[in-house]
Structure 1
Amino acid sequence: MLKKAPEPILPQPTTPKGRATLARILASGRETFGQAGYVSMRMSDLAERAGLSMGALYRYFDNKDDVFLAIIHDIHNELYAASRPGEPHIFRDHPRKAILESNRGYLTHYRNHRKVMRAFIEATMVDPRYNDMWWYMRERHIIRVATALERDHGITEVNRMPARISLEALASMTEQSAYVWYAHPDAAADMLPVADAACIVSEIWYCTLFSKMT
């Protein structure tokens, strides 16, 4: 059973102004964490960027971890949605196309939020809550693909090993590649185009999972 990820503690504003302020805090948080990193980010930095007093900010969030967990929770759901093929039957009928579409969606969203993802990797090293969130994120992706692989193609083993073993390696490869190509500080000057990145990792996915079909 998939262990549940840590849930963010989100305020529930009841007015349009309150909901707009919450959205502004979270949007500003993505920028602030992305710029400062997880460890160095301060609530005063967030208040300034969001155009709020410290008192107003603390009416929504008690500390920076409540803000960051909410941000990462949202980004995970966005990554999960972005990596889902557009048509339900595409993985069954056109697995290579589906894999490419999924990886392109994942890598595009990762690239667009690369600075926050860098801060997230930093956070996993110092706080177990974020390590739990990271584990949940990868497990959720792996379980989705394993389920589709068995359902649509009857594949439960790859090279006489449980398919999950290969999926763990493939997911790790994609995740680490995304970090190296987009989130690592040295990647900013010359980022690999997403179209090329998606083709590279997708061919590895396809050849690994469907080697008997190539």
Structure 2
Amino acid sequence: MTCRTVKQFADAAAPEELFTGQWQNRPSVLDDYKPYLDDRWSEGCTNAWKLWGDRPARLQGQLPAGSRLPARQAHLTAGGDRQAALTSGRRRLDPPAPDTLTEAEQIQLKAVRTNCPELDALTQHVRSFAAMLTGRQGQRLPDWLDAVRQDDLPSLHTLAVGIDRDRDAVIAGLTLPWNSGAVEGHVNRMKMLKRQMSGRAGFALLRKRVLLSS
């Protein structure tokens, strides 16, 4: 964090002054519905899931994730409402494992997936990949990639392209019991030693420290 950023926080007279930058005033799928959402927010409804559940027909499918509205409205609200909204958004972006959901949460998730086909497809692909990863079922990867490409999910398509560049290695990683954890640990240790000695010693001393610290 630069001194300029620290000064900006220190000199801000109101919370709204902190929310500026390249991400502000960008077009959003909610732009046409902001008057309705602002009215509901002013009435005291600051829960995006509640707003989505009470939405008019024209809002069908616009609030499936449940976290964007609090984040947006937090930019316009001070005090506890902002903190509560942001906290709510973080919780929804980091959901628990499916088998740990309560009955009410399962019903809520089912409703969200029903109203958003893209989110439903994404959920299926993510859970399928998790099953491959935890069950070491790398042989299923080609079928998983084909299934991903059949859905309109650009982010997963990008992931699929990256996997295809080194498909054999990914399949091995999803199948074999070995990993490179030990090697990565040694690499991190050597980087730490190198940073500690930056500009103060040559290769000979660095080599000696690496060998003696192993």
TM-score, scaled to structure 2: 0.25
Structure number with higher relative contact order (C-alpha < 8 Å, ≥ 6 residues apart): 1
Larger Rg: 2
TM-score (normalizing by structure 1):
0.25
